[in-house]
Structure 1
Amino acid sequence: MLKHECSTLLAALIWAACLTPSALPALAQEREAPLIIAHRGSPCHFPEETLEGYRRAIEYGVDYIEMDVVSTKDGHLICRHDLTLDDSTDVAEHAEYAERKWTTILPGGREQSGFFACNFTLAEIRGLFAKQAIPFRNQASSHSFRVQTLPEVLQLAMNSTGAGRPVGVYIETKGPAFHSSIGLPLEARLVDALMAAGYGSVAAAPLILQSFEPQSLQNMSRELEARGLPGRANLIWLLDCTADVSDAQLDAFAKYGYGVGPEKSMVARLVPAPECARSEGDACSAVAPEQACTGRLTPAAAAAAAARSWGIVQSELVERAQARGLVVHPYTFRNEGRFMALDFDADPLAELSLFRALGVDGVFVDCPATAAEWLATQHAATPSWIGSVISSPGPRQAAAIASVSVLATLLAITLVWGVVILVRHRRRQRVKYQFFPSMFNTGDLTWYPPDYRRAVVDETGGGSRGEECGEDTPLPTSIMMTAIDSPPRIAEQERRADRANGGGT
């Protein structure tokens, strides 16, 4: 019995020791590494949203591949980031389509011109080549790959397994209000494509749906529910940097949503800089070929970036969202210095490290190879996580302190349990007559059960000594110690009495 108890105690102590704060850095590394989301595949290597780009991203071990969907004239969903085909295909080089250029007013009031995908059939779009959309990137692979449909990309994801499950898909409905206004709503067709690809039956296939328009997210949620799959997809609300999201809006979205996807300058605020000026009306992430940067970090973030010490940096948006149970997946991390704040000196690894320290749960990256390199450096370096996290205020500090407190409590309980086991064993060893639970020792006098008391009286010869010992009278401890020294002796006394009674009858 003692051997078993000691083994149990030893195992418990080892388990508790392994979970003490000295082991927390490794656990924190695993828990805090944000998801890597391959933004449009791998556009730093290939034209965006092509099968080749998605394959490359999957090879680098990303968690999700991200795609945008627009509708063709005949109702097919293709993977294109923009409503127009101008920047990402060679459509402008096709003279036969010159008359297709169109100018319209989008639901938000903005005017847009170009070759809209909704004015082309799928067969016509199949004849186009994808091209590198960012002009200052390598154009060598332009005009080599075709435009892909959503079902083709979904099939690639389903057939690409990592960690025992398909790679996740992260799908954005592009301009859903616009598509609805022209009679080509996206949501029902998107859910149809997901069901046809097997996402209704393969629960292990990770699925996230995203949109800048909450109404589209609600529509997709209703479509899934109508097919008996409520909650099958996580919903992400994308935020443009010009958006001013209130606590009330976050509260409302948290009732059915999974997280927010803000433009990264909403997480690490930027200060306008003359050398980073952009045209009025440009998107926050827009960078012209002649532009050098996106801005400068706020003073606190800039100081932390310069010192490579992220403990003093906080993000108000991250804290607000995570306080409501929402994850935060900012976009877009690119390798070119002009897409970064000047403070990072064109170092994408430094930028990713800052955002990790800010507590983001995932990052949209254009170059999965760089993200894989960054993750490798993060896992290789195991600094004093406890010191850096506990010293930095905010929810992460509270979580770290709570974790340490819980583990310390478990260790204390384990130690107390072990002490109790050992004390109980020693007590059993010391109790010589275990079958007399009524014995109570008060020093020189001891109370015994009646049978035991009679045995003691008989052993001492009865007479006047025994008469002194009434049924409720304690016997001197010395009588028991000298007269009765073992349970077998009592048993022998009982056997003698039985034989005497039997012989008499």
Structure 2
Amino acid sequence: MLKFQCSTLSAALVCAVCVLHLAFTASADEHKAPLIIAHRGSPCHFPEETLEGFSRAIEYGVDYIEMDVVSTKDGHLICRHELTLDDSTDVADHPEFAERKWATTLPSGREQSGFFAANFTLQEIRTLYARQAIPFRNQASSHSFRVRTLPEVLQLAMNSTESGRPVGVYIETKGPAFHSSIGQPLEARLVDALIAAGYGKMAAAPLILQSFELQSLQNLSRELEARGLPGRADLVWLLDCASEVNDTQLDAFATYGYGIGPEKSMVATLDLAPECARSEGDACSAVSPSQTCTGRLTTAAAAGAAARSGATVRSGLVERAHARGLVVHPYTFRNEGRFMALDFDADPLAELSLFRELGVDGVFVDCPATAAEWLATQHLTPTSWIGSVIGGPGPRQSAAIASVSVLATLLAITLVWGVVTLVRHRRRQRAKYDFFPSMFNTGDLTWYPPDYRRAVVDEAGGGSRGEECGEDTPLPTSIMMTTIDSPPRIAERERRADNAAGGT
């Protein structure tokens, strides 16, 4: 009966722990914040794609650091956002490279000129300093940090993993069709670099590969499969604001892809506003010194902003992607008002809050510090009272909830073990004192009270025999039968006394 009661109690506690775990998980999943993706490191503080910028982003607790790769003349992958080095390095200050300027027609048909990284060896590029690419940002840290290779940045990410806080890497193949046209394809070399850095192991930091060109993503998928790593990296298709993606294209990409990365105006749609100065012909994501804003939110997007305290309102693109199991990571969230719609009044926290309500799964940010501040302001309302006790702001909310769930499980296991041990101990104690009925009916082992046992063991010779017979160990009946004043001897003396009295 006691065993049945203990089993029932254990089952009830385990069920309770499972319910708690489900409540915690449901609360976290329903209200988790979007992933924070450090766009090119931390370019609002440091020149883009530098180790220092990536390190600062990791310190702010981002989920991913994002980088772009281009190839050098001798086949090394370096982290640069453009095919050319003009805007992001001090190459123009090096007269020895003046003749390297080059003009070409890209596979897309667009004309481009400048100092192409593909015309420099890695040794030559190591003589260059990175500089702040956006001219109206603080230039104080320009000419202080070197251009870095992809393996160097991957090692930084792996080191952060070893320190106990995994940070994912989010890598874009920049101009893959151009690199293929000059005999420097990126995909195989990228996979080589990832494997060499340890990303062939599933336990390594999370990995996402992205490109504007679907052919590059398909090549990456084939490369990973050929190396025995199918599915090791998630694939994201980047979309510019001029893209028109139909359902057939999304269906095809969903068969092997993970998500899409649209320009943010494709999620929160805009109306042109005469107040927003913009150079004619500029793309919607262009960085122009003459730019003052991006426009005004359309009626649908404004409705999403108004619904932040109520039901979620999502754009058509987000709904279409989610219906196919694809995540949505829009770009790029910057602090300067010129990169926002007028509706936000140059408040980056308000802009991030709107996009969270629009249902996005991650955001590319130039300022990880601002993203961390925004997360701290998001007092999420869990769906369960349990979640409300432990829910809190920040990108690690889900991890905290999971930790509490594990602790609750361990506590329940400890409680069950304690109850079972207590019940067994009490049964043993009762058995020790209930010895007289059994000792005359068994010839094997019998329980005796501790004080009586000590006297018996001492009488039997003590020593090693005493060590063999602990207080919780049944003593052989043979010992008791040969010991002075044992219960059998007492009973025998009383019988003889009775006989003697009767004879008299």
TM-score (norm 2): 0.71
For residues 163 and 309 of structure 1, the distance between their equivalents in structure 2, rounded to whole angstroms, comes to 38
Q: Aligned partners of 1:303, 1:225: CA distance in 2, in Å?
A: 44
Quick one: distance in 2 between partners of 1:74 and 1:324? 41
SS of the aligned residue for 1:369 comes to: helix
1:27 matched to 2:25? The reply is: no
1:333/1:365 contact within 8 Å kept: yes
Instruction: Indicate how the Cα distance of structure 1 residues 14 and 172 shifts in structure 2: closer, same or farther if over 3 A, else same.
Output: same
**Structure 1 residue 312 displacement after superposition:** 5.4
Output the CA distance in 2 between the equivalents of 1:203 and 1:7. 37
Task: Tell me which residue corresponds to 2:155.
Answer: 155
Partner SS state of residue 311, structure 2: helix
**In the alignment, what sits opposite 1:382?**
380
Query: Match for residue 55 of structure 2?
Result: 55
For residue 370 of structure 1, what is the aligned residue in structure 2? 370
Change beyond 3 A, Cα 1:20–1:38: closer
Counterparts of 1:175 and 1:355 in 2: how far apart (Å)? 29
Conserved 8 A contact 1:224-1:231:
yes
Q: Which residue of 2 aligns with 1:188?
A: 188
Cα deviation code 1:330-352 (max 9, x no counterpart): 11111111111111111111111
Aligned pairs for 1:46-195 (under 5 A) are 46-161=46-161, 164=164, 166-195=166-195
Matched, 1:252 2:252: yes
**In structure 2, distance between residues paired with 1:26 and 1:312:** 16
AA matched with 2:273: A
Cα shift at 1:57 = 0.6
Could you say if the C-alpha distance between residues 248 and 202 of structure 1 is closer, same or farther in structure 2, counting changes exceeding 3 Å?
closer
Find the aligned partners of 1:153 and 1:292 in 2 and give their Cα distance. Answer: 34
* Inter-partner Cα distance in structure 2 for 1:47 and 1:365: 14
Match of 1:401? none
Aligned counterparts of 2:226 and 2:381: Cα–Cα separation in 1: 49
CA contact (8 A) 2:129 2:146 kept: yes
AA of the residue aligned to 2:77: L
> How far apart are residue 377 of structure 1 and its match?
1.8
Take 1:308 and 1:359, find their aligned partners in 2: how far apart are those partners? Answer: 11
- 1:166 is paired with a residue of what secondary structure? coil
Contact 1:165 1:204 in 2 (8 A): no
Could you tell me how far apart the structure 2 residues matched to 1:148 and 1:225 are? 28
Structure 1: where are the runs of 5+ without partners?
387-505
Residue 13 of structure 1 deviates from its aligned partner by 7.8
Alignment partners' CA distance in 2, 1:308 and 1:323: 22
Letter in 2 for 1:347: D
Q: CA deviation at 1:318?
A: 0.8
Residue 318 of structure 2 aligns with an amino acid whose one-letter code is V
Confirm or deny: 8 A CA contact 1:257 1:326 kept in the other structure. Answer: yes
Paired residue for 1:453?
Answer: none
- The equivalent of 1:210 in structure 2 is 210
> Alpha-carbon deviations, 1:284-327, whole Å to 9, x = none?
11132232111111123224436754635221111101111111
1:299 aligned partner: 299
Q: Which amino acid aligns with 1:382?
A: L
SS at match of 1:275: coil
Deviations 1:233-278 (A, max 9, x none): 1111111111000100000001111111111111111111112242
CA–CA distance in 1 between the matches of 2:267 and 2:310?
14
Q: Distance in 1 between matches of 2:296 and 2:166?
A: 39
- In structure 1, the residue corresponding to 2:200 is in which secondary structure? coil
- Residues 347 and 19 (structure 1), Cα distance of their counterparts in 2 relative to 1, 3 Å cut: same
1:330 maps onto 2:330 in alignment = yes
Equivalent residue, structure 2, for 1:231: 231
Identity of aligned residues (%): 79
Instruction: Work out the CA distance in 2 between the residues paired with 1:258 and 1:13.
Output: 35
The superposition leaves residues 376-401 of structure 1 with CA deviations (integer Å, 9 ceiling, x where unpaired) of 222xx134769xxxxxxxxxxxxxxx
Distance of 1:291 and 1:282 partners within structure 2? 10
Q: Is the 8 A contact 1:310 1:357 kept in 2?
A: no
State the alpha-carbon separation in 2 of the partners of residues 11 and 313 from structure 1: 40
Conserved? CA contact 1:264–1:332, under 8 Å:
yes
The change in CA–CA distance for 1:3 and 1:60 in structure 2 (over 3 A counts) is same
The 2-side partners of 1:331 and 1:229 are apart by 28
**Counterparts in 2 of 1:162 and 1:341: CA distance versus 1, 3 Å:** farther
Query: Could you say which residue in structure 1 is the equivalent of 2:393?
Result: none
Q: Take 1:53 and 1:177, find their aligned partners in 2: how far apart are those partners?
A: 28
Size of the aligned set, in residue pairs, is 382
User: Could you tell me how far apart the structure 2 residues matched to 1:27 and 1:189 are?
Assistant: 38
Query: Shift in Å at residue 184 of structure 1?
Result: 0.8
> Deviation at 1:125?
0.8
Give unpaired runs (5+ residues) of structure 2. Answer: 385-504
Decide whether the 8 Å contact of 1:43 with 1:366 is kept in 2.
yes
What TM-score, normalized by structure 1, do the two folds share? 0.71
